[in-house]
Structure 1
Amino acid sequence: MNCIKTMLTPSSVLHPLNKNMAFVQQKPLLFSLIIFCFIAAASSRGPIYAPPNVPRLTDSFGHVPIDQGYSEFFGHPNIQLTNNGSNANLTLDKVSGSGLASRSKYKYGFFSAAIKLPSGLTSGVVVAFYLSNADVFPHNHDEIDVELLGHEKGRDWVLQTNIYGNGSVHTGREEKLYLWFDPTQQFHLYSILWNNHHIAFFVDNVPVREFIHSNASSSIYPSKPMSAYATIWDASEWATHGGKYPVNYKYAPFVASFGEMEMEGCIWNTTGSASPCSRRSLSSSDPVDGETFAKLSQEQINGLQWSRRKLMFYSYCKDTARYKVIPPECKDSS
């Protein structure tokens, strides 16, 4: 309310006999000021909501240095390893974006990255942490995406999650939500849990989406080994309503910082060994397809309900323009 007190005219307090009339006359102004102050507060992109307490799933697994777990994917000049190879800065400029790819492929696992996003006007910039096997199955690949979409003309960063199996981007299952913090000020954790039971997405260990493996979803459920990727790229045409707000390279370079990488699960062996899987470490007493990870705990369910109620603003399950008939797995998510 300090914003309103500062901007109100002194006349409302200098004429006590006309107090009621002055208040009535200033009601439209007061309403406008409230809206102005609300927008000003939102534009500061500080914390909006306090998330509920949830288990720290990321504490169950060890960190993998980027120079040990990842190789360069593209944009060599725009990749800078830091902290003795544990972290990396990925840059987008007029010449190129950049990206990393995991050295191993995984059949199920837990994948996490601490990411700090570029600040300033970042419309059209997309930072992604995802799983894919498009290199092996270009026409019917699987993918699990965490995509951070640069804001449009001052709007907040948007988190988009997407899932598809045996298909392409046209068969995706997108959902979008706003973050409850400014992702450009410090590192935040973005995580994916993928096993035979479900796929769960987490932000700072708070579940933001769960996609259950069921008869209804089995045909589109990712099932083939995938690599993990970290990228930054120009997605002007895709992420900003057909290029309405393209990347403005006057504000380049755009730098996304990655660290605290975690990859734990079934590392896919292609050597013909008896077991197709090996584990990177024994940091967890329970593999990611075991009972502990088969379903969300009650605390995690509470966190999931909180994030979807407060922050989600798009789900393909509600997109009747795109899907004339609601996809069958949407009944699971409800």
Structure 2
Amino acid sequence: MELFQDGLLLFTLSLVLCSSNTVLVSSRGAFYTAPTVPHLTDGFSHVSVSEGFSESFGHSNVHPTRNGSGVDLVLNKSSGSGLVSRNKYHHGFFSAAIKLPSGFTSGVVVAFYLSNADVFPHNHDEIDFELLGHEKRREWVLQTNIYGNGSVRTGREEKFYLWFDPTQQFHHYSILWNNHHIVFLVDNVPVREIPHTDAISSAYPSKPMSLHATIWDASEWATHGGKYPVNYKYAPFVASLAEMEMEGCVLHSTNSASPCSKSRLSSLDPVEGEEFVKLSQQQITGLEWARKKLMFYSYCKDTSRYKVLPPECKAK
């Protein structure tokens, strides 16, 4: 009987290893090996958290790490916590290595995003990574979203499962934003691209924004209207951030218009060059892989929510 069980185990393991891209199967489901892509994060310098950011809320729950190069953001019964960049950007490349809280995290949201709601409360822009604690299983869901010119009534959410356990080690979450497109990347793999076309031009984020990193209680909207709120029995919830990158066109107080040249030779404008105009073939392959294998919700498919789909959906 023991030999039979050992043989069955080996047979099952061989099937797992031989299946396309699958490297591990556990109680959390299948994990995968992503396609090979260029590492955009290798092309930009790290920014010290202590130099590049200010605390936005939850002072006692913001804990610097690695001599100020990293930070732990904490959510407990008292408060969540957050950071905001000292500079505002017309566009750029923004990235953080993040390790998420483990265990039961329903209602917990870790967000890494760009916004100018403080300056434009009625017509703000926003580009969001939102990592949503799962309400039933010990898993996290990745949600991306954009708002342009105050288009908050038209959510443009897409949701993905991750191909790894985000609580065991750091993984990179990156945003490329320029006049050509917005690209969301996870470990340098594009998971979503929003081309700047005529169809979306009125809702394309275009005004200078700050970079934010936060952890907070989103029980009211992230868990079916509060059905699965944050359970503080499992607090504190800690999101660890490191390897922050912010490279782009900085807004200067003396000039609200973009001072950055669109020449690919300009050191002032590092993400408008030819290599950032469109995705490479490797990046397109990665994008198609992520969307086919891991995306489980797109606003462009939600006909029950949108009787008339947003114009960019029709253009696809």
- TM-score (ref. length: structure 2): 0.88
Q: How big is each residue's C-alpha offset from its partner over 1:169-209, in whole Å with a ceiling of 9 and x where there is no partner?
A: 32221000000000000000000000000000000000000
Residue pair 2:57, 2:82 contacting (<8 A) in 1 also:
yes
Cα offset, 1:285, TM superposition: 9.9
Trace 1:264-303 onto structure 2 (pairs within 5 A). 264-272=247-255, 276-277=259-260, 287-303=270-286
Q: Distance in 1 between matches of 2:113 and 2:270?
A: 20
- Secondary structure in 2 matching 1:216: helix
Q: Distance in 1 between matches of 2:245 and 2:181?
A: 19
Trace 1:64-83 onto structure 2 (pairs within 5 A). 64-83=47-66
Is the aligned partner of 1:194 residue 2:188? no
Trace 1:157-172 onto structure 2 (pairs within 5 A). 157-172=140-155
Residue pair 2:90, 2:258 contacting (<8 A) in 1 also:
no
- Secondary structure in 2 matching 1:217: helix
The 3 A distance-change label for structure 1 pair 41 and 303 is closer
Q: How big is each residue's C-alpha offset from its partner over 1:197-254, in whole Å with a ceiling of 9 and x where there is no partner?
A: 0000000000000001010000100000000000000000110000110000000000
Q: How many residues align structurally?
A: 295
Q: Which amino acid aligns with 2:43?
A: S
Q: Distance in 2 between matches of 1:98 and 1:228?
A: 14
1:12 is matched with none
Which segment is superposed worse, 149-158 or 191-200? Answer: 149-158
Is the aligned partner of 1:231 residue 2:214? yes
Is the aligned partner of 1:314 residue 2:297? yes
The 3 A distance-change label for structure 1 pair 155 and 170 is farther
Cα offset, 1:42, TM superposition: 3.9
Cα offset, 1:43, TM superposition: 2.3
1:128 is matched with 111
1:323 is matched with 306
Q: Distance in 2 between matches of 1:115 and 1:61?
A: 17
Q: Distance in 2 between matches of 1:171 and 1:257?
A: 31
- Structure 2's unaligned 5+ residue stretches are 9-23
Q: Distance in 2 between matches of 1:321 and 1:274?
A: 40
Which of these residues, 191, 199, 208, is aligned with residue 216 of structure 1?
A: 199
The structure whose Rg is larger is 1
State the identity as a percent.
75
Q: Which has the higher strand share?
A: 2
Residue pair 1:43, 1:154 contacting (<8 A) in 2 also:
no
Which of these residues, 74, 79, 99, is aligned with residue 91 of structure 1?
A: 74
Q: How big is each residue's C-alpha offset from its partner over 1:124-178, in whole Å with a ceiling of 9 and x where there is no partner?
A: 0000000000000111100000000001121520000001101143222100000
The 3 A distance-change label for structure 1 pair 95 and 109 is same
The 3 A distance-change label for structure 1 pair 65 and 321 is same
Cα offset, 1:270, TM superposition: 1.2
Q: Distance in 2 between matches of 1:286 and 1:126?
A: 32
Residue pair 1:268, 1:277 contacting (<8 A) in 2 also:
no
Trace 1:3-152 onto structure 2 (pairs within 5 A). 5=5, 41-44=25-28, 48-152=31-135
Q: Which amino acid aligns with 2:202?
A: S
- Secondary structure in 1 matching 2:51: helix
Q: Distance in 2 between matches of 1:275 and 1:328?
A: 28
- TM-score (ref. length: structure 1): 0.84
Q: Distance in 2 between matches of 1:111 and 1:41?
A: 32
Is the aligned partner of 1:257 residue 2:248? no
Q: How big is each residue's C-alpha offset from its partner over 1:112-132, in whole Å with a ceiling of 9 and x where there is no partner?
A: 000000001000000000000
Q: Which has the higher helix share?
A: 1
Which segment is superposed worse, 219-228 or 263-272? Answer: 263-272
Q: How big is each residue's C-alpha offset from its partner over 1:80-135, in whole Å with a ceiling of 9 and x where there is no partner?
A: 00111000000000010000000000001000000000001000000000000000
Q: Distance in 2 between matches of 1:299 and 1:73?
A: 38
Q: How big is each residue's C-alpha offset from its partner over 1:36-68, in whole Å with a ceiling of 9 and x where there is no partner?
A: xxxx954246x6111000000111100000001
Q: Distance in 2 between matches of 1:285 and 1:224?
A: 18
Q: Which amino acid aligns with 2:27?
A: S
Residue pair 1:61, 1:284 contacting (<8 A) in 2 also:
no
Q: Distance in 2 between matches of 1:172 and 1:78?
A: 30
Q: Distance in 2 between matches of 1:193 and 1:60?
A: 12
